[in-house]
Structure formats: structure tokens, C-alpha cells
């Protein structure tokens, strides 16, 4: 696999220490079916550029997570013009990453990338749960006569019969999608944005417990006041702390096997939105590997080849009751 030099890859770090590689960041700026605002093809480039400004030390985790993760970024490559062939292209890339026992973090691009991204994961795991952040349900059979539309991304993922979905932040859905949702309520669970104050995250924890999870994050899931740089922004969405709370529950209680972050449409001169997405990507990776589900499980769980973590409880200044686990890998 052809990688960028660390200095120009995600986070822009010149690794002068030996860290075993665990993550491949894949820039995949596919833009074929956008229906309102455009510019998602520039998302990966601007996320990587903004990531060079992200502080490497995480005050919540009390460390510099990148030193424990080992991140490489693929060199940009030509994306196929035909959308179905482009999805097959990203599927093959993720298969190679899986074969190397590495974690794939794909940067979109529009949300239509996700069915291609998850294909090798759907093949590998008997059951796969899609953790989906979005303003839109994306359950349309097709949109503008295109079945691979970004408005059909989750519907295409559900074409894999072993895939189920948990969605957060949904606040835009069509009548046709409601009908499909009712018929498939056992496979699809939605935490509606309108019900944020009533969300039962203990129920979410139960839903996701011990599952193999692929995480897909459409940035329009965030409230439009903090994320207007997307093709179809919607008010009434998720805020930063709410998002992190959900991500932490998922990281501590499930096995996150891969991820994509998509639908950033950069606005010239407004770099803060690119920075937010770059920091979100870093947080997802940090939680995945430092709140690692398999490492937090007890040694008698019969899982082979896991890292055993020596956990230290540290009380944060924010709340004496809130505990942060700082993981140190035991040689």
C-alpha cells in the first residue's frame, strides 16, 4: 500500500519512535450524487490539512493517543468515474486493510461510499451492526433515479441481510422511508433527534453490547449551528459533548471494526468546520484504541491475541464521580 509521508498525512506527525501501525486513513473523495450543496470531493484533503492543527495531547485520556495507535495515510488515488465501480474500488481497498489486520478509517466524500466500505466487513462477520450518525435516515430505495445515491446509503447497507442499524440524530425522513422502517423495525433502531432529552443510552448500551460494529458518521448529523459545511445541513442535531458520550459507550461496549466520516463540504475561509471533523476523526480513533472493547474485557473471555490493559482510574476535575480509564499496554 502506498502511504503519504507522516508529515503530510493525517495529524502531520513525524514519527521518530517505533509505533506499530494499527490504522490506515483512506482519503476517498467520491462525489457523484450530491443533491443540494456540493464540495464533498474536497473533504478528505481539508480534513487532513486541518488535522495538522489538532492538539495531539488528549486531556480526557491523559496521553497523546497517536503514540499508541500508529496511523498511516494512503496516498490520494484516482477514483473511478462510475459509482458502482468506485464502491467496488473502496471495498477492495478495505479488504486489503482487513487482510493486514489493520483498522480502516475512510474519509469521504459523500455518504454513498458506506455500502462499498462495509462490504468486506459484512462478509467477514456473521452479524454486523452499523452505528449511524446522520440527519437523514438514508433509507430510500433510490433518489433521482440512482440506487447508489447518498440518500440511499443505509438502504444499500441493509441489502446485506446480516447487517442491522442503530441511527442517531435522524430528523429528516420521507413517508416511503417510514413505511420501510416499520416493516424492518427489528433491524433498524433510531434515536430521533427530536427525542434527545429522552434518549435512553442504557438501552443503547444494551443494544450494542459485545457486537461487531462499523461506524459511519455523516457530519450533517451534527447541528447545523456547529456544522454548516455540509451538503444538506439540518437544525436540531447533535452537539460535541453529546456525540462523544455516544462514541464512548460504543467504544467501551462493542468491537468497532472500521469507520468512515463523510459529507464534509468545505467552505472557503471557514477552517473551523474542517478542524471539527479532523478532531472528531482523532477522537473516534482514540476511543477505539484506548477505550478498546476487547482490551477492557477480562482475560478469561477466550479471545486470542488481545492486548491486556492495565487500567488506572483517574478522577477528572470536571466531576469527582466521572472516571477516565488511561490504558497502558503491558508488554
| Per-residue model confidence (pLDDT) at position 317 | 36
Residue 160: is it exposed, middle or buried by C-beta count within 10 angstroms (0-12/13-18/19+)?
Answer: middle
pLDDT surpassing 60 at residue 131:
yes
Domain presence at residue 304: no
Domain count, the chain: 1
Average per-residue pLDDT for the chain: 88
Q: Which residue has the higher pLDDT, 296 or 51?
A: 51
| Per-residue model confidence (pLDDT) at position 145 | 81
E strand intervals along the chain: 23-28, 71-73, 103-108, 128-133, 163-170, 188-192, 212-218, 255-262, 309-315, 323-329
Give the model's confidence band at 294: pLDDT under 50 very low, under 70 low, under 90 confident, else very high.
low
User: What's the CATH number where 237 sits?
Assistant: 3.40.800.10
pLDDT surpassing 70 at residue 174:
yes
Domain presence at residue 20: yes
pLDDT digits (tens, 9 = 90+) for 189-205: 999 999 999 999 999 99
Domain presence at residue 43: yes
pLDDT digits (tens, 9 = 90+) for 86-113: 999 999 999 999 999 999 999 999 999 9
Tally helices (H) and strands (E) across the chain: 10, 10
| Per-residue model confidence (pLDDT) at position 264 | 97
| Per-residue model confidence (pLDDT) at position 15 | 64
Average pLDDT over residues 280-306: 68
The C-alpha atoms of residue 164 and residue 112 are separated, in whole angstroms, by: 17
| Per-residue model confidence (pLDDT) at position 195 | 97
C-alpha closest to that of 204 among 251, 171, 241? 251
pLDDT digits (tens, 9 = 90+) for 9-47: 999 987 665 678 999 999 999 988 776 778 899 999 999
Pairing of strands 188-192, 323-329: unpaired
The C-alpha atoms of residue 276 and residue 282 are separated, in whole angstroms, by: 10
Domain presence at residue 309: no
pLDDT surpassing 70 at residue 309:
no
| Per-residue model confidence (pLDDT) at position 305 | 38
| Per-residue model confidence (pLDDT) at position 310 | 37
pLDDT > 70 in the chain, percent: 86
Domain presence at residue 317: no
Average pLDDT over residues 311-331: 36
Q: pTM here?
A: 0.87
What are the backbone dihedrals phi and psi of residue 150, each rounded to the nearest 5 degrees, phi first?
A: -65, -20
The C-alpha atoms of residue 124 and residue 128 are separated, in whole angstroms, by: 9
Give the model's confidence band at 293: pLDDT under 50 very low, under 70 low, under 90 confident, else very high.
low
Domain that residue 61 falls in: 6-291
Domain presence at residue 318: no
Neighbours of 33 (CB within 10 A): 20
pLDDT surpassing 60 at residue 324:
no
Domain presence at residue 306: no
Sign of CA dihedral 90, 95, 100, 104: positive
Domain presence at residue 329: no
Q: Which three cell numbers stand for residue 141?
A: 430505495
Amino acid at each position: 500500500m502506498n502511504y503519504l509521508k507522516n508529515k503530510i498525512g493525517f495529524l502531520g506527525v513525524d514519527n521518530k519512535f517505533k509505533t506499530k501501525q494499527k490504522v490506515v486513513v483512506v482519503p476517498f473523495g467520491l462525489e457523484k450524487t450530491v443533491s443540494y450543496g456540493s464540495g464533498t470531493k474536497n473533504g478528505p484533503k481539508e480534513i487532513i490539512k486541518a488535522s495538522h492543527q489538532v492538539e495531539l495531547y488528549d486531556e480526557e485520556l491523559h496521553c497523546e493517543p497517536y503514540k499508541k495507535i500508529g496511523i498511516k495515510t494512503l496516498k490520494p488515488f484516482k477514483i473511478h468515474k462510475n459509482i458502482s465501480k468506485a464502491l467496488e474500488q473502496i471495498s477492495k481497498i478495505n479488504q486489503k486493510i482487513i487482510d493486514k489486520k489493520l483498522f480502516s478509517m475512510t474519509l469521504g466524500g459523500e455518504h454513498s461510499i458506506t455500502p462499498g466500505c462495509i462490504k468486506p466487513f459484512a462478509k467477514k462477520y456473521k452479524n454486523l451492526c452499523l452505528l449511524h450518525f446522520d440527519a437523514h435516515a438514508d433509507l430510500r430505495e433510490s433518489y433521482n433515479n440512482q440506487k447508489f445515491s447518498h440518500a440511499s446509503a443505509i438502504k444499500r447497507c441493509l441489502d446485506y441481510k446480516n447487517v442491522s442499524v442503530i441511527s442517531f440524530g435522524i430528523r429528516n425522513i420521507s413517508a416511503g422511508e417510514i413505511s420501510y422502517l416499520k416493516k424492518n423495525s427489528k433491524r433498524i433502531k433510531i434515536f430521533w433527534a427530536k427525542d434527545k432529552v429522552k434518549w435512553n443510552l442504557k438501552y443503547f448500551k444494551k443494544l450494542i453490547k459485545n457486537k461487531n460494529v462499523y461506524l459511519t458518521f455523516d457530519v450533517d448529523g451534527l447541528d447545523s449551528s456547529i456544522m454548516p459545511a455540509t451538503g444538506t445541513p439540518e437544525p436540531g442535531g447533535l452537539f460535541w459533548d453529546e456525540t462523544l458520550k455516544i462514541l464512548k459507550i460504543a467504544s467501551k461496549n462493542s468491537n468497532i471494526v472500521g469507520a468512515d466520516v463523510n459529507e464534509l463540504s468545505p467552505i472557503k475561509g471557514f477552517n473551523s468546520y474542517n478542524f471539527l471533523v479532523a478532531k472528531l476523526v482523532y477522537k473516534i480513533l482514540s476511543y477505539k484504541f484506548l477505550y478498546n472493547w476487547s482490551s477492557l474485557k477480562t482475560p478469561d473471555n477466550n479471545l486470542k491475541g488481545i492486548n491486556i490493559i492495565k487500567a488506572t482510574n483517574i478522577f477528572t476535575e470536571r466531576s469527582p464521580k466521572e472516571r477516565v480509564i488511561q490504558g497502558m499496554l503491558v508488554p
